[in-house]
Amino acid sequence: MNSLEQYIELHDQHRQTIEANAPAVLNGLRQQARQALEGAALPRKGQEDYEATDLNAIFAPDYGVNIGRLDFDIDPAKAFHCDVPNMSTCMYYTYNDVFHRSSTARRQPGGVVVESLAEAAVSHRELLERYYGQLAKLSDPTVALNTLLAQDGVLVYVPAGVTADKPIQLVNILNSSRPMMAVRRVLVVLERDAHARLLVCDHTQSTGVEALTSQVIEVFADENATFDYYDMEESGPLTRRVSSIYVMQKAGSNVLVDGITLTNGITRNDYHVVVDGEHAETQLLGMTIASGKQHVDTHTFVDHRAPRCHSNEMFKYVLGDQAVGAFAGKILVQPQCPRVEAYQGNRNICSSDKAKMYTKPQLEIYTDDVKCSHGTTIGQLDDEALFYMRTRGIGLEQARNLLMQAFMADVIDAVRLDTLRDRLRYLVEKRFNGTLANCGACAAACR
């Protein structure tokens, strides 16, 4: 069965309700999304040339969708305390896919805006009309489905020349008594010479219930803008997440995107970066720790459309038990784009005989005078290093954990928020020690 059909039927049956509960700018792309889904199908297991996620199977269950935009009876600000210690943030929430503010979400100085797309459709209508849906490709069935069903979302807007004085933190919470799909949309716009940092945390509160997140993020970084995007997942074993991030960079911009998976069920992360201006810099990083039967699949595409740009990409996996990891990365350098430097790396450790890693790095270059490279490794922990540590009185498990922490060190060190970097070291240590539960008990696990 084509799992998209049930959601197309759901939309067709409730079209009036969906459109009545959504701003016009979202409705404006809905019919295009509906047309894009005609005859489309999600990839099934074995259809791609490596062990990617079976997206058709992920969307196949009959998940509930919050068509009526019901606000669940919870105060997330009281139930969860996910702020990173010693880091003052402006915190916001989406509870399933409904936007909330916390007590720390004061009015931002300098005209910085963090609000729902429904609010922005009134206060910043021209902004939404200009940017919403302009990067995310409806040719991707997961994006088209998200666009078809999305009724709201989050806008982060930083005007020209403004620096957001505090990191912005968005805490996504999944909680339901029955299987549910949360349809999330995030739009980030940084005008010329703007600067901001966004930390997004995904948590599952009801860990015994199947849940699915469909998520699309669009990021526009204008000339000389600087933007950090940290995406940290600590969800439950029955959580499925399909996330697509689209980034457009103009000349002189500097963007860091860092995806961190500490606990999960099945995760598919797609990263699409277009570098469309000279002297733009891109860092694309990822870190995955998976055990049990967790599955983490990462796709990246960095498209260099301008000369004299720099991108650096590094994704690391540590897989134990029967966990499965997959990585497919592609760098494209367009014609007439000399002096591009683009590097891609994928390093992986399988700490058990049953863990599996699939990797497919690619380079596609259509110009001369460039510096580009890609590489991948899959291995196990160094036996000689383990032996050396054990001869000095360190137990086997502690030695293994120390080596795995050291393996992740360079990805953690690339984080440009000092307090978050220190927090990640602590969380990674707990994860390898087996003492980091998923954030169903987020108030305890994140302190």
pLDDT digits (tens, 9 = 90+) for 205-251: 888 999 999 999 999 999 999 999 999 999 999 999 999 999 999 99
**DSSP category for residue 199:** E
pLDDT value, residue 74: 59
The pTM of the full predicted model, rounded to 2 decimals, is 0.93
pLDDT value, residue 446: 36
Indicate the pLDDT class of residue 436, thresholds 50, 70 and 90. confident
What is the maximum span of the chain, computed from C-alpha positions, in angstroms?
70
72, 175 Cβ separation under 8 angstroms: yes
> Which residues contact residue 397 at a Cβ distance below 8 angstroms, ignoring those fewer than 6 apart?
none
Domain ranges of the chain: 4-276+415-445, 381-406
Residue 77 has pLDDT above 60, yes or no: no
Indicate the pLDDT class of residue 442, thresholds 50, 70 and 90. very low
Q: Crossing angle for the helix pair 418-433 and 396-407, nearest 10 degrees?
A: 150
* Main-chain dihedrals φ then ψ at residue 312, nearest 5 degrees: -135, 125
Alpha-carbon separation of residue 214 from 148, 193, 200, 217, 405 (angstroms): 11, 31, 15, 10, 31
pLDDT value, residue 441: 43
Which of 94-98, 188-192, 339-343 is predicted least confidently? Answer: 94-98
Enclosing H/E stretch for 117: helix 117-123
pLDDT value, residue 84: 56
- Tell me the pLDDT tens digit for each residue of 112-171: 999 999 999 999 999 999 999 999 999 999 999 999 999 999 999 999 999 998 999 999
Residue 101 has pLDDT above 60, yes or no: yes
Residue 368 has pLDDT above 70, yes or no: yes
- The Cα 94–Cα 163 span in angstroms is 24
pLDDT value, residue 238: 95
Q: Which residue has the tokens 């295009």?
A: 32
403, 372 Cβ separation under 8 angstroms: no
Rounded average pLDDT over 5-23: 95
Mean pLDDT of the chain: 90
- The Cα 81–Cα 74 span in angstroms is 14
pLDDT value, residue 47: 59
Structure token pair of residue 164: 């957001």
Structure token pair of residue 22: 């959504």
Among residues 172, 270, 173, 164, the alpha carbon closest in space to that of 227 is found at 164
Alpha-carbon separation of residue 1 from 38, 45, 56, 131, 213 (angstroms): 15, 13, 9, 35, 21
Which of 107-111, 361-365, 438-442 is predicted least confidently? Answer: 438-442
- The Cα 318–Cα 32 span in angstroms is 40
Indicate the pLDDT class of residue 80, thresholds 50, 70 and 90. low
pLDDT value, residue 72: 67
Residue 48 has pLDDT above 70, yes or no: no
pLDDT value, residue 141: 96
